[in-house]
Amino acid sequence: MSNTTDIVAKLWSLCHILRDDGITYNEYVTELTYLLFLKMLEETKKEERLPKAYRWRELAKRDGLDQLDYYKRLLLDLGKAEVKDGLVRAIFVDAQTRLRKPTNLKALTSSIDQLDWFSAREEGLGNLYEGLLQKNAEDKKSGAGQYFTPRPLIDCVVRLLRPQVGEVVQDPAAGTAGFLVAADRYIKDKTDDLYKLTEQQGHFQRHSAFIGAELVPDTHRLCLMNLLLHGIEGGVDLADTLSPDGERLPKADLVLTNPPFGTKKGGGRPTRSDFSITADTSNKQLAFVEHVVRALKPGGRVGMVVPDNVLFEDNTGRRMRTWLMELCNLHTILRLPTGIFYAQGVKTNVLFFQRGKTDKANTKSTWVYDMRANMPAFGKTRPLTVDDFAAFEKVYGRDANGRAARKDEGEGGRWRCFTREAIGARNDSLDISWLRDTEAEAEEKLTDAEDIAAAIIGHLKAALEDIETVSEELEINEAEGAAGLSEAAE
C-alpha cells in the first residue's frame, strides 16, 4: 500500500467520528475539506493566504467548547467579503459545520495532525485529496458517484485529446474538477512540471488555462480545493451553465466534460439567449451539447460523456444531432459499458468531435467503438481500470481529431465506420450497435449487494427520465399542433 493510499484510508476512517455526530455520508468530505484546507496551507507554507487569527495552529491548540466556538467563527469569517484572498473566500462562503460535540472536533484535529504529512507532501497533496474524493465516490451510500467520473475514463479521454500548453480547457459541469486536473497533469508531465515553460506560459497555465462552472455549492468547494492543491488558481465559477452565466464562459480550445444526467431541476428550460436548438427542452444533456458546440473556438475539440438518449431521442434530439454534425466533425463515439457510474443502469457514451472552420457538412463519417457488448459486469468487485481502454486507444490512433489511419473491423469486431449518408438513412440516430448486447447477462453476474441495488436504482431512474422525456415531447407536439391550427385559421 502506498503512503498516499494509507493516508486516504486513515482520513476516510475519520468519517466514523463525523457519523457519530449525526453527519451524513454526503457531508463527510465537505466537512473534512474545511479542516484539510487549513492544515494543507500550513504544510505547504502558504498560510499567508489566511488572516493570522484563523490558522491551523490556532485551531488545533484549543480544546473543548472554546475550540468548537472558535471553529464556527472561523468558518463564518473566512467566507466574508473582508477576506482579501478570493479563493479562500470562495471555499468558505456560507460554510458551516455540522459538528456539535467538542470532543469530536478535537478527535478530528488531533488525528489530522498525526498523519504522515512528510510522505503526503512527497507524493503530492493533490493526489491525497483526489484519493479522498475517489474513496467518497466509491462508497455508494454517499451518492458522490453521481458526479464523479471514473479516473480511468478521464485519463483515457485526456490522453486521446492531448491538451497543449497555451490552450484554454473548459469543463462546463466541473464536478470535483477531475477532467481539469487530469488535463493539467498531462501538460505538467510533458513540461517537467511547467519548468520547461517561460514565466509567461507558466503563469497562463496556473491562472488562465482551466475554466468552467459548477452548480452545486458543496461540490464547488471540493472542486476549488482540488484545483488549488494541484497548483491551479480558481478558474471554475459557482454558476449554472444553462443560464446566462454559461454565455460568459470564455471560448475554449478543448472541452472535457461529463454533464449531469436527467432533466433540468423543476422541469425548467435553459435561460440562455444564445440557445436556438434546445431553448424549449428541459433535457439537460441536450442543452449541454448545445453549450459545448457554442463554447468551442474554430478547430476546438471535445471529449464529452452523454447518456444514450442523446443519441436516439427524436424531435429536439434529432435536430441537435443534425446541427452538431453540420457544425462539427463527429469523428468518434465510444459506447461505454454499464456499471461504471453510480447509477448502474445508465448507458453512456463518449462523443469526440471537432468544431469546423465553417458551419456546413463537417461530419463525413463517424467511427463507433462498442465497449458495451460482451463486457464484464463492472462494479465494486470488478472496477474499471486503465487497461480496459487500451484496445480502444490503439484503434483511435495518435491524432487527437480522429485523422489517424483506421480500419473497420467488420460485423464481428468492436470498431466500425458509418458514413454521414448511412447515419442520415437512420434519421440521424447515432444509437448504433451491431454486436449481440449481453448487458442483461452481465448484470445477472453482479454479486455485491451495493452493485445490485445501484443497478435497480439506475434502471428506475432511467425509466422515469424516459417517461419525462416522452411527456415533454407530447407537450411540444401539442403546442406545435395548436400553433399550426392557429396559423391555418388566420
Are 113 and 218 found together in one domain? no
Are 170 and 75 found together in one domain? no
Contact 401, 162 (CB under 8 A): no
What's the pLDDT tens digit per position in 178-203? 999 999 999 999 999 999 999 999 99
Print the SS3 string covering the chain.
Answer: CCHHHHHHHHHHHCHHHHHHCCCCHHHHHHHHHHHHHHHHHHHCCCHHHCCCCCCHHHHHCCCHHHHHHHHHHHHHHHCCCCCCCHHHHHHHCCCCCCCCCHHHHHHHHHHHHCCCHHHHHHHCHHHHHHHHHHHHHHCHHHCHHHCCCCHHHHHHHHHHHCCCCCCCEEECCCCCCHHHHHHHHHHHHHCCCCCCCCHHHHHHHHHCCEEEEECCHHHHHHHHHHHHHCCCCCCEEECCCCCHHHHCCCCEEEEEECCCCCECHHHCCCCCCCCCCCCCCCEHHHHHHHHHHHHEEEEEEEEEEEECHHHHCCCHHHHHHHHHHHHEEEEEEEECCCCCCCCCCCCEEEEEEEECCCCCCCCCEEEEEECCCCCCCCCCCCCCCHHHHHHHHHHHCCCCCCCCCCCCCCCCCCEEEEEHHHHHHCCCCCCCCCCCCCHHHHHHCCCCHHHHHHHHHHHHHHHHHHHHHHHHHHHHHHHHHHHHHHHHHC
Does residue 276 carry a pLDDT above 80? yes
Closest CA to 283 of 419, 59, 473: 473
Does residue 483 carry a pLDDT above 60? no
Q: What was the pLDDT predicted at 486?
A: 59
Are 310 and 433 found together in one domain? yes
Are 381 and 307 found together in one domain? yes
Tell me the β-bridge partners of 252. Answer: 296
Are 231 and 319 found together in one domain? yes
| Residue 390 belongs to some domain of the structure | yes
Q: What was the pLDDT predicted at 462?
A: 60
Are 399 and 262 found together in one domain? yes
| Residue 468 belongs to some domain of the structure | no
| Residue 467 belongs to some domain of the structure | no
Domain that holds residue 398: 143-455
Does residue 103 carry a pLDDT above 50? yes
Q: What was the pLDDT predicted at 102?
A: 95
Contact 379, 344 (CB under 8 A): yes
What's the pLDDT tens digit per position in 279-303? 888 888 999 999 999 999 999 999 9
Question: What value does the mean pLDDT take over residues 445-474?
Answer: 60
- Rounded CA-CA distance 485/338 in Å is 44
Are 222 and 353 found together in one domain? yes
| Residue 159 belongs to some domain of the structure | yes
Q: What was the pLDDT predicted at 1?
A: 44
% of the chain surpassing 90 pLDDT = 62
Are 314 and 373 found together in one domain? yes
Does residue 124 carry a pLDDT above 90? no
Question: What value does the mean pLDDT take over residues 332-339?
Answer: 90
| pLDDT band, residue 55 (cuts 50/70/90) | very high
| Residue 316 belongs to some domain of the structure | yes
Q: Where residue 339 sits, what CATH number does that domain have?
A: 3.40.50.150
Angle at 154 (CA atoms; ends 183, 165), nearest 5 degrees: 15
| Residue 281 belongs to some domain of the structure | yes
Q: Is the pTM of this model over 0.75?
A: yes
Are 176 and 154 found together in one domain? yes
Burial class (CB in 10 A: 0-12, 13-18, 19+), 285: buried
Does residue 325 carry a pLDDT above 70? yes
Q: Which of 105, 133, 161 is the last residue of a domain?
A: 133
Of 346 and 426, the one with more pLDDT: 426
Question: What value does the mean pLDDT take over residues 146-173?
Answer: 92
Cell 493510499 maps to which residue? 5
Q: Which of 133, 166, 189 is the last residue of a domain?
A: 133
| Residue 263 belongs to some domain of the structure | yes
| pLDDT band, residue 480 (cuts 50/70/90) | low
Across the chain, what does the average pLDDT equal? 87
Are 108 and 198 found together in one domain? no
Q: Where residue 55 sits, what CATH number does that domain have?
A: 1.20.1260.30
Cell 472542486 maps to which residue? 223
| Residue 464 belongs to some domain of the structure | no
Question: What value does the mean pLDDT take over residues 205-222?
Answer: 93
Least confident of 95-104, 207-216, 219-228, 440-449: 440-449
Question: What value does the mean pLDDT take over residues 214-237?
Answer: 91
Are 41 and 176 found together in one domain? no
- Rounded CA-CA distance 154/183 in Å is 9
Question: What value does the mean pLDDT take over residues 154-170?
Answer: 98
Does residue 24 carry a pLDDT above 60? yes
Are 290 and 416 found together in one domain? yes
- Tally of structural domains, the chain: 2
Q: What was the pLDDT predicted at 144?
A: 46
- Rounded CA-CA distance 21/2 in Å is 30
Q: Which of 100, 133, 166 is the last residue of a domain?
A: 133
Does residue 150 carry a pLDDT above 70? yes
